[in-house]
Structure 1
């Protein structure tokens, strides 16, 4: 994706903004911040509903009692399917923003959510085949794509100095759709019992219509944004795209994977009933969602790499607590450790996403020094690659949720416990904090600092 100022061809029809330059402080203070904040607000609403639909089967499985004839391994595989599809659709959703406009694609992507909700409403009853459930579960992956398009769109609206907070708020507001649908499910099970899953779907179908209407009325398209497959080709050749993808697997992959699996783990590890599980499942995702903007804010203040490094150390420690609690069968200690995993994964989501535009700003500065680019060309190149990188990193990171659920499935199949899965998560977080230190925090040997930064400016990200 590319964004510029006044040199791009005019795009008409709908709510198109022809010129947009958030790095110009006078423009930002005059009109930019009001427009950006309005688009952010309604982007959050649409993404929030998208996340709720994406995580739909994490709550539908709580309604699937013995009459559905789906064993625990089958349920873990069912909740993994939306994660897989959601990861793959993030790439086209990212480029759709520049091709069709942020407002226009938000309308389309919100309307598409009627497919999985309507299909689930039709099939959610005993006697439906497992294959049908898997196909309908795959449709809910469309909700995962909303995140990529929303983040790419909001990334273009805000200046670099505000991206950590804006992207964190946008993502956190979306992420909170996970605990909200879990709270709705708790209310439904408490009031009507575990035999009425269609009530949940009946609540969300009109909310999809509300999100679509608000996007149509209050959001804007940015004409300077352009679909740029060349940016995709460039960004997949950047080593930092893949380093950040690995780190995002550790943060966001953990958040979405644990969110989808938490209720099933409580039922299978500690024998909780659907109602007892629903009373607990929302707490971790809620706290993880609320703290995500704080992760972005801390990264704005102290540097994304520093916050991310400390965060992975904390996640490894929390995984150790959960592993211990699993071995001694202590539900109280287990909940403390698991909620800690949610909180730190949410915090890390914010700090890692702050790092992405910072990395490509540093890369653009290095290129400018080498090729003599103007300040405007440098900023345009940075926005172009960071927008593409958000799509790639978001897609790869979402696969972490698939790995989480497959790890739980295998763990309960072979050991009848989640302990082997927790041990693997601890090892993965250790790899992530070592990787963060080695690539972004380690001092570059004997080379003078200025020379090292020129050779690889991403080493300065601890200060970004």
Structure 2
């Protein structure tokens, strides 16, 4: 999606950086890492609030009692629509960074969050039509799109050896916005009562303004980053883009889908009150967000594919526990299984995103590239693929909420949907092993011919 280019005279102002080479260790140590860290911090702030706005309906659903006239299936559909819009908008948001500049787009995307938040402040009351709520749910999708532009931007700031950590920190800091809005929702219900959802919305409007101002004052645009339509076309044609999208549905799609749905499941399957549900919903997203950088760091150390493989195995085990708890109607076992699953989605989020630049660096080596040529190729293809992978992965949130909606309509519980999720994680385990870790017999014979000049393609350490 992005590629280096010469400085452009059209870039004016102190917030444009026209020379940027994070792989140059001298440059990185002298000034690069300080600039990158500053941009990371303020990127996280805006992305964090974006996630809060995106998941706002999952919290407001706890405030929507019988007087709103919306059944459980209707609430699942509202959060599913927000998930869908956020996923779709991730594609243009990812390309907007190179077109307008990372700082400039962050200012715009952060300020745009005022639109759905203000709309919710106006309409959030009994008697509002379902169509109106649906329209506002569509608007909240812009918060989910912030992730794509933020991750694409930060990917450009950091060298390959630190991308797992940097992308994990950026994504984890953003993901935790889901837990924070749920925690604030709990506080509002506990103090003001479930009849005052506008209190929660009033908290976020000034926070959005502050985040927008901080982005304008403290972030930078990278002049050498340009939209590369050739790289975008290559990414679409590249099989690894779609394989990683499939895996990312299993990690991030699960995280955001469960974050949106957990409170509704507790209310409708286990009979929890809004306050009781709110007291539990934030724990899983909080832990899943905090551990995401750990997933990135583990991937930096031992390989993203290895971490991802065993993470999917454990996700399948945790889901089996949830299925058992759902059948037995055991709330403690259900909560324990779900919190474990949230933690594993966080680990997997970090490891899968680390795999992306590593995969394209391995492809560059297999093509005989080295040094700057290999770095440029990897940056182009990984940058282009990240927006697509992030968008497709976010569709997992839509799938989870639609599956749960159908399960509740069909059998009155989420058990059927959880069985489907278990099968999906098992499939992800097989795909990860088959594509990135399985070593064919022919590869063993190639080891004996290691003296040949042509590099061999291996993803075992990505």
- TM-score calculated relative to the size of structure 1: 0.96
* Correspondence for 1:436: 432
SS at match of 1:143: helix
Q: CA deviation at 1:23?
A: 0.5
Cα distance in 2 for partners of 1:75, 1:338 equals: 20
Q: CA deviation at 1:446?
A: 2.2
Q: CA deviation at 1:461?
A: 2.8
Cα distance in 1 for partners of 2:370, 2:310 equals: 36
Give the direction of change, closer, same or farther, for the CA distance of 1:454–1:336 in structure 2 (3 Å limit): farther
* Correspondence for 2:284: 284
* Correspondence for 1:32: 32
Q: CA deviation at 1:271?
A: 0.2
Cα distance in 2 for partners of 1:11, 1:3 equals: 17
Q: Is the 8 A contact 2:364 2:370 kept in 1?
A: no
Q: Is the 8 A contact 1:50 1:144 kept in 2?
A: yes
Q: Is the 8 A contact 1:2 1:380 kept in 2?
A: no
* Correspondence for 2:388: 392
SS at match of 1:462: coil
* Correspondence for 2:150: 150
Cα distance in 2 for partners of 1:378, 1:248 equals: 25
Gaps of 5+ in 1: none
Q: CA deviation at 1:449?
A: 4.5
Q: Is the 8 A contact 1:304 1:461 kept in 2?
A: no
Q: Is the 8 A contact 1:318 1:338 kept in 2?
A: yes
Is 1:462 the counterpart of 2:438? The answer is no
* Correspondence for 1:407: 403
* Correspondence for 2:12: 13
Tell me the alpha carbon deviations over residues 270-320 of structure 1, each in whole angstroms, 9 at most, x when there is no partner. 000000000000000000000000000000001000000000000000000
Q: Is the 8 A contact 1:10 1:223 kept in 2?
A: no
Q: CA deviation at 1:9?
A: 3.1
Tell me the alpha carbon deviations over residues 392-449 of structure 1, each in whole angstroms, 9 at most, x when there is no partner. 0000000000000000000000000111011000000000000000000101222334
Cα distance in 2 for partners of 1:456, 1:200 equals: 55
Q: Is the 8 A contact 1:4 1:19 kept in 2?
A: no
Cα distance in 1 for partners of 2:196, 2:456 equals: 57
Tell me the alpha carbon deviations over residues 144-182 of structure 1, each in whole angstroms, 9 at most, x when there is no partner. 110000000000000000000000000000000000000
| 1:167-316 correspondence runs (5 A) | 167-316=167-316
Aligned length: 457
* Correspondence for 1:319: 319
* Correspondence for 2:377: 381
Q: Is the 8 A contact 1:313 1:430 kept in 2?
A: yes
Cα distance in 2 for partners of 1:243, 1:388 equals: 15
Q: CA deviation at 1:365?
A: 1.9
SS at match of 1:12: coil
Cα distance in 2 for partners of 1:454, 1:396 equals: 34
Q: Is the 8 A contact 1:104 1:216 kept in 2?
A: yes
Gaps of 5+ in 2: none
Tell me the alpha carbon deviations over residues 31-83 of structure 1, each in whole angstroms, 9 at most, x when there is no partner. 10000000000000010000000000000111100110000000000111111
Q: CA deviation at 1:344?
A: 0.3
| 1:49-198 correspondence runs (5 A) | 49-198=49-198
* Correspondence for 1:333: 333
Which contiguous aligned blocks of 4+ residues in structure 1 show a shift greater than 4 angstroms?
449-456
Q: Is the 8 A contact 1:73 1:409 kept in 2?
A: yes
Cα distance in 1 for partners of 2:439, 2:400 equals: 33
Q: CA deviation at 1:228?
A: 1.7
- TM-score calculated relative to the size of structure 2: 0.97
Q: CA deviation at 1:13?
A: 2.1
Cα distance in 2 for partners of 1:400, 1:121 equals: 28
Give the direction of change, closer, same or farther, for the CA distance of 1:354–1:136 in structure 2 (3 Å limit): same
Cα distance in 2 for partners of 1:364, 1:97 equals: 24
Cα distance in 2 for partners of 1:445, 1:349 equals: 31
Q: CA deviation at 1:363?
A: 1.4
Please report the RMSD computed on the Cα atoms of aligned residues, expressed in angstroms: 1.5
Cα distance in 1 for partners of 2:149, 2:346 equals: 20
Q: CA deviation at 1:381?
A: 1.7
Q: CA deviation at 1:376?
A: 2.1
Q: Is the 8 A contact 2:365 2:455 kept in 1?
A: no
Q: Is the 8 A contact 1:3 1:156 kept in 2?
A: no
Cα distance in 2 for partners of 1:171, 1:124 equals: 29
Give the direction of change, closer, same or farther, for the CA distance of 1:455–1:119 in structure 2 (3 Å limit): farther
Q: CA deviation at 1:198?
A: 0.5
